[in-house]
Structure formats: C-alpha cells, structure tokens
Amino acid sequence: MKALSRIYAIFYKELLQLKRDKMTFAMIVMIPLMQLILFGYAINTNIRHIPVGVVDQSHSALSRILIQTISATQVVTFEQHYMNTTQAEAGIASAQVRAVLVIPADISQRLARHPVVGLGTPPATNQETVRPVAQWMVDGSDTLVASAIKSLRNMPLAELLKKPANRNTPTFEVTLFYNPEQRTVVNIVPGLVAVILTMTMIMFTSGAIVRERERGNMEMLITTPVSSLELMIGKIIPYLFIGFLQVIIILGLGHVLFHIPINGSLLSLAGATLLFITASLTLGLVISTIAKNQLQSMQMTVFVLLPSILLSGFMFPYEGMPVIAQNIAEALPATHFMRLIRGIVLRDANFTDLNRDIYWLILFTLGGLLIASIKFKKTLD
C-alpha cells in the first residue's frame, strides 16, 4: 500500500514534468508522425525510372523500337545519348546516369538468330551463334539499382516483332501471400513501430536517473523511503502510455495513409507491444544507471539504436546476415519485436507461433530490471 503510494508519487511527478516539458511532449507525437510519412513515402525497394543513357551504334528502326519497348517497362528512363562507349563510361562515372544501354551495329543479325524469332537455327550451333541483342553497362555499386536493371535481362522480345506475347511456361509458379502487390510500405510501417519505440523509449528512460542526478534531486530522493525498484517502476509507467500512443499513431496513420492491413487481433498486438516497450524501457534504465551524465546516456542510446535499425530486419532481411550478426541481432529486443509485429499485423500469427520471441522479451525485461535495481545504489558512494 505504502509502496503503491510511492510508485504513484514518482509516476505523477514524471507526468507533471513531462507535461511542462513542451519540447519533449511535442517530440513524442512528432517523431512517429514525421518518420511514418517520411519513411512511408520515401523507402521503396521497387525501383522505377532509373536514369540511363544509350549508345546506339546501329541507328536503325529496330534499335529505336527496342528503346521504346524498354522505356515502356518504366524501370528506366532514357535521358542521355552518347556517341561511343567511352563517353558512356564517363557519363556513368560522373553519375549523369546509372546505366547505359549499348546497341551494337549488328542488332538485326543478332535478333535474327535469337530463339524468339524462331528461324529454326540448328540446336547444335546455338551456343556459337546466339548472342544477346544488346549490352547494359551498369553502375553496380548500389545493389538495388543493379538488380533492377538485371531484371531486364530476360525481357520478352516477342513484342518487338509484333508477335503475340507467347511467353514460355515458367519453371515455378510463385504465389505471394500477405503483400501480393509487393508494396514496400507494407513491410516498412510495422517495422517502423519497432524502430521508433526503440528510439524514443530507450532515449527517454536512459536520461531518467541521470537527470535526477544532474539536477541534484538524487540526494533528496535517496533520503526518502523510495526503494530503487519503486523508483524504476514509477519512472517507467508514464512512458508505457507514451509508447502505446506512438504505436496507435504509427499503425493508425499507416492504415489510413498507406492502407496497411491489420490482420491480427488487437489484443495480441497490444500484448506484444507491451512486452517490447517494457523491455526497451528497462534497457534505458540500465543505461541510465551506468551513464554519468545525459550526454553519455545519449551516446549509449545511439550505440543500441543503430544495430536495432540495421540488424533487426527492419532494413535488410535477417536471413541474409552472417551468423555472428544474427547472434547480435538475437540479443536485441527490436529483432524479436520486428518478428512479432510483422507476424501479428501482416500474417495474423498468434502467440504460440511466436513464443520464442515472447519469452526473450520477458527474460530481457526481468534481467534488465534486476540489473538496474542492483546497479542503482541508494548511497552516494
């Protein structure tokens, strides 16, 4: 009873301070709002309209039709014409264009031998005579751009010859679940919840104890009967609400602006979010008990934040990382929450499917609270 009163005292005090700290309060709403709109519109892995150039050595009707057919895919936009390949390479080097299409002078002969034309070249000599009709020179440094252009490699040519688009039967049939239109934003928005919560939750609490110490309140606090655990809990609770507010902003707005489906139950969503918020908050508290001042706590927050963005699967698929990086990612709460929230929001997964992630978050929270309470001594030694 007395303990509850003390926790309430800390909690209410934090609320009042937060209310008066207009800047922080604004950031609580602005961070998710701005980041959602920014990332929602900006991050797109379906790349379109890559600026490219062309070196047309054949100057034929065929080459012009080929260029038009490629333009029609919308993957690239032809912006430059170069006289020769040397100029074209210079164009790539100076970042005028990302790639250059080189159409050889003998394009009609190459096309004639192409199997699409179907002139019935003897199979035995295929290897020697059939050559690609043209060449792409690509600035391969950005792998996403490069693979977008590589996807043009097997572009159907039937259209070029006014033949019916008689495509071959593919080896595999691919059925895309959960995001059939392949919109990047569907994957980004739930992930954004994890990133923004990591950022704000750790940042707010990492400064919590340090601030009391810096402003000289700690000496008063530790002479009161407040125990370290009560102090920690009282400081965490206001941010729980803030965390939920941010989740509602991100997913609600994501639903309205980007039509992100919320397939799972709201209850499991709330449960998973609660676990992640408490895990992040305790991590912040641990930082807070180690850091000597607010600058240090900020630096430590960034130290956790960067891997949470880059290794958690938010930007790059977890499966593509080397095992060591995967192990580091496993330690981060953000990785587990990334799986949870994508699972719940997009795939309607339930807790039993995701219990490994749930257990880890619970374990992380308990461990964090324990470490923070032990590290925080009620003396000035």
Toward another protein, which CB reaches closer, 12 or 359? 12
To another protein, the closest distance from the beta carbon of 187 in angstroms equals 41
Q: What angle do CA 193, 276, 264 make, to 5 degrees?
A: 60
Q: How far is the CB of 209 from another protein (least distance, A)?
A: 15
Closest to another protein by CB, 173 or 381: 381
Single out the residue of 206, 236, 192 nearest to residue 334, CA to CA. Answer: 192
Least distance from another protein to the Cβ atom of residue 24, Å: 11
Could you tell me the smallest distance in angstroms from the CB atom of residue 13 to another protein? Answer: 5
Closest to 262 (Cα-Cα) out of 323, 253, 208, 71: 253
CA-wise closest residue to 160 among 75, 72, 62, 73: 62
Evaluate whether 204 touches 285 at the Cβ level (below 8 Å).
no
Minimum separation from the CB atom of position 286 to another protein (A): 23
Q: Considering the complex, state which of residue 15 and residue 363 has its C-beta at the smaller distance from another protein.
A: 15
Nearest approach, Cβ of residue 21 and another protein (Å): 7
In this complex, which beta carbon is closest to another protein, that of residue 9 or of residue 321?
9
- CB-nearer residue toward another protein: 185 or 208: 208
Q: Is the dihedral of CA 224, 229, 232, 238 positive or negative?
A: negative
Minimum CB separation from another protein for residue 201, in Å?
22
The C-alpha atoms of residue 99 and residue 150 are separated, in whole angstroms, by: 11
Binding interface with another protein (CB under 8 A)? 1-2, 5-6, 8-10, 12-13, 16-17, 20-21, 215-220, 222-227, 378-381
State in angstroms the smallest separation of the CB of 184 from another protein. 43
β 99-103/135-138 pair status: antiparallel
In the bound state with another protein, the residue whose beta carbon lies nearer, of 45 and 224, is 224
Give the whole-angstrom CA distance, residue 273 versus residue 248: 11
Minimum CB distance to another protein smaller for 125 or for 224: 224
Tokens of 121: 């070249």
Query: Which pairs from 327-332 meet CB under 8 Å and 24+ separation?
Result: 330/360, 332/304, 332/307, 332/308
Q: For 138, list phi and psi in degrees, rounded to 5.
A: -125, 140
Determine the distance from the C-alpha atom of residue 69 to the mean position of all C-alpha atoms in its chain, rounded to a whole number: 33
The answer to whether 82 and 57 are in contact (CB under 8 A) is no
Indicate the residue among 20 and 153 with the shorter CB distance to another protein.
Answer: 20
